[in-house]
Structure 1
Amino acid sequence: MLCEPILTNRSEAGWDIPLLAWRAETPLLAVGSAPLGGGIGIRRWVVNATVPMSYDRDDPAAHLTELAHGLGLGGPGVGLLTGVDVTEVVRRTDGGVRVWATVGLGTPVWAAAPEPARPAQRVGTVNIVGYVPVRLGDAALVNAVATVTEAKAQAIWELGLPATGTPTDAVTVLCPADGEPAPYGGPRSTWGAPLARAVHAAVRAGGAATVVPWSDRQAG
């Protein structure tokens, strides 16, 4: 089981900056794209840390390891960074699936843009942490990441942004490490469907609080 995150703070460059830390009751199987602990493997904790807009470190994995050690988190874990204030995390549940999202949409882009996006005026990152209460097979884990991403893109489109995400989004999906593996994680599968709905609801809610309509950005 992945417990609700603890909200804490750290001092950095004269600022008290918030971070979220999840602890697993027992080691979990995880898949994801996080700078620390990405890929597929056993993980014991997750950290989602706010960083200032001026953040310029080129060693995010090492930085996140330092933060985890400062919290007393041992063993392998997952670390994410965002320019969003993580105190604004959005939680959603659906059919036993739990999702937490920090939603920053200041830099919306199409995944297949014909040319590089213009330099961003604001930092924007969507970090999504999901927990499925049954063991997923390896293929289902990979499919679950795709399902999360599709649901996120749907929510962003429904918010009125011509985009599929931001350039720095990250996803982590965790599940029990033991048990009979569920074979599927797609959006119409037993566990992919509630995962998609929970992600969609979380990103819609988080984005609605921060999104700038496309027409307003064009006018600016």
Structure 2
Amino acid sequence: MIAEPVLTHRAEGGHDVPLLVWRLPEPAIAISSAVLGGGIGPCRWLVNATVPMSYDRGDPAAHLREIAAGLALSGPGVGLLTGVDVADVVHAGDGGVRIWATVGLGAPVQAADAGAGVVAPHAGTVNVVAWVPRRLSDGALVNAVATITEAKTQAIRELGLAATGTATDAVAVLCPPGGAAADYAGPRSQWGRRLARAAHRAVLDGGAVNLAGVQSWSERRAIAG
């Protein structure tokens, strides 16, 4: 079982910047599209770190390694970045599946939009971390990422946006390394439908709050002075 993430802060640029940390009690198998720890492999920890909306570092993976080192995290892990204040993380569960989402919809895009190369004026990222309590085969792990992405897009459409997500969205799915592997995680499979329901609920709830005008961390910092 994966525990709730811990909300902590790091000192950076003269500010206390929030981040979420999952320290896994036992190694897990992860599939991720994250800039750090992407692909399929073992995982001992995850970080979802807030960055300023003006973030322009050209070495985000190295930056995340610095953050992990500052937290004394060792071994393989997954690192995510977002302009959203990660204190606004939304959790949802379904039949043993657990989802945590930080939802920023300031720059929604259509994946196949002809203008996809245009840089949006405001950053926005939807990061989803998922736990499945059953070992998934490699194919099922890929399937799980697709299922979560479909559920995310469904939620975004239900929020009234003609979009499939944002240009910087990321997903990480974790499962135990042992036991008989489930071969499927599509939306009508046992684990896929639970992932879909939980991801849909988390993105729908988090997106509604975000679109209601909750400030990014950068905006909150500016208001606080």
TM-score by length of 1: 0.95
Identify unmatched segments of 5+ residues in structure 1: 214-220
Asked if 1:86 corresponds to 2:97, the answer is no
Give 1:167's aligned residue.
167
Identify unmatched segments of 5+ residues in structure 2: 214-225
- Give the whole-Å Cα distance in 2 for the aligned partners of 1:118 and 1:212: 25
Cα deviation, residue 211, structure 1? 1.7
Asked if 1:194 corresponds to 2:197, the answer is no
Query: Does structure 2 retain, via aligned residues, the 8 Å contact 1:109–1:117?
Result: no
Cα deviation, residue 118, structure 1? 3.6
Cα deviation, residue 212, structure 1? 6.4
- Deviations along 1:17-69, whole A, 9 cap, x unmatched? 10000011110000010000010000000000000112111111111111011
Asked if 1:114 corresponds to 2:114, the answer is yes
Give 1:74's aligned residue.
74
- Deviations along 1:146-192, whole A, 9 cap, x unmatched? 00000000000000000000000000000001110000010000100
Query: Does structure 1 retain, via aligned residues, the 8 Å contact 2:109–2:116?
Result: no
- Give the whole-Å Cα distance in 1 for the aligned partners of 2:197 and 2:117: 29
Number of equivalences: 213
Asked if 1:150 corresponds to 2:147, the answer is no
Give 1:195-214 correspondences, 5 Å limit.
195-211=195-211
Which stretches of structure 1, 4 residues or longer, exceed 3 Å deviation after superposition? none
- Give the whole-Å Cα distance in 1 for the aligned partners of 2:56 and 2:115: 24
- Deviations along 1:96-125, whole A, 9 cap, x unmatched? 000000000000000111222543221100
- Percent identity among equivalent residues? 65
Give 2:101's aligned residue.
101
Counterpart amino acid of 2:210?
Answer: T
- Give the whole-Å Cα distance in 2 for the aligned partners of 1:155 and 1:168: 17
CA RMSD, 1 decimal: 1.1
Indicate the SS of the match to 1:181. coil
- Give the whole-Å Cα distance in 2 for the aligned partners of 1:47 and 1:115: 32
Give 1:120-131 correspondences, 5 Å limit.
120-131=120-131
